[in-house]
A and B are shown apart, each in its own frame.
Chain A
């Protein structure tokens, strides 16, 4: 690796810009490509796939892999709307799984630091908070309050972003009315289809910790096994 390639790569990681290191294993030649770079259609697709699935890709040619794609993505983030009971186990589990967790809740009695040691709390109104967080493809957003006044503004910002996961806690009934409100606000079918609700894999969870497991499992599935 050229020293300047290493320097550039470290600068991109520091700046949280997604980048892929492409190595020709035969010659040792390397290039750093951003999303959309790559010359040919198939190369662009390889770059996109490496970044999206966040996994190294060895493009197989005859006689073994000759080109190696290694993605360097910004850290995963999870944004929780509502400093409610279930946010406690979910923020702890998501942190263990490698997410930088931010909890958004303007209600001071809920978003109390001693309820969430070590977690970033944002006490702005959800729409303002979400705008300032600058959501990207490495973000998962989960609304937990059950209160449309808090959940809906956050959801609207999330649906206008590239967040890879958008989910809402609540019953099937409240989810149906949530989708109706979003449709009324002008969101298209394809936007509504992005919302996972009721959030979480159906594993029969009861306690807040079990619900957190089901939510984190669904987020993980969406990240690692995206629909083809």
Chain B
């Protein structure tokens, strides 16, 4: 495909279409509105449906309803709307309904600075809804990455029957870059698994320990002859509410297992120059751009600095970080918050090694700030 100038939000919308998304429900909010506007125009062109709902709670609810009807479905919002969506994100996790939720992060808390970037929703993406549940969250750092990770988000949602959070930020969402999109025909797209059993044998929440659908039972859309029940209550394999511990525990085990056993597929990251490094910079999202530049500057000054760019934020890439940082002296973690993902990194590599570089005022972290932290630490060796 030819090169074109594209905004991050627009790339997210186009990627959703390329991934097979045919339903979007949303509510206007800066800095995610462009995703809704693009899809209001583009979805009906491909026979899909767009609806602007009365609020973000209704938006995520409609997305889940559409997914139950068999459509790949997405919503997009920012912090205040993401907060409102949390209960139904939990419902999607509980009922294992695939869907994609885009959060273009802006500075919070509350209304905050709507047009300023932030990475303040990292922990909310993980723990925003009540109760224990696994989640997948991806965070892009460029317009092309927005495209690629949005396609991935749909694939993960379908493959693991789970809500997937696209954790963008205002910087990436509103930035325009020259990008070359992949040929859509070349994209590998996940289809919803079909069941091979007749309706009377179908168990939409089967906890089978073996067989082709281990950990992720097929989800048959409503209206295709498999009349079953979906509920946010704890349920048995057929979807009926249950209080039996011998039915609840296998379900809990399975929904965590389906993510934990697939980390090699889910964890997306890039490691750069870590072989000879004694300091490692770990970054994600828009901040990864400044981090990459800072690492380059440090290398030019003869410093042995490596870079780990995390694209999958949740589940946290524990073993990746551990093995990358094991023999290093220092780890520098720049984030546009008061220190969120760094808590996970400290848990894995130990607090002594880790230095946070934080901004939570709506301004970006400059490469020079990260470089200063690197040099400060190296001076301390």
A and B together in one complex? no
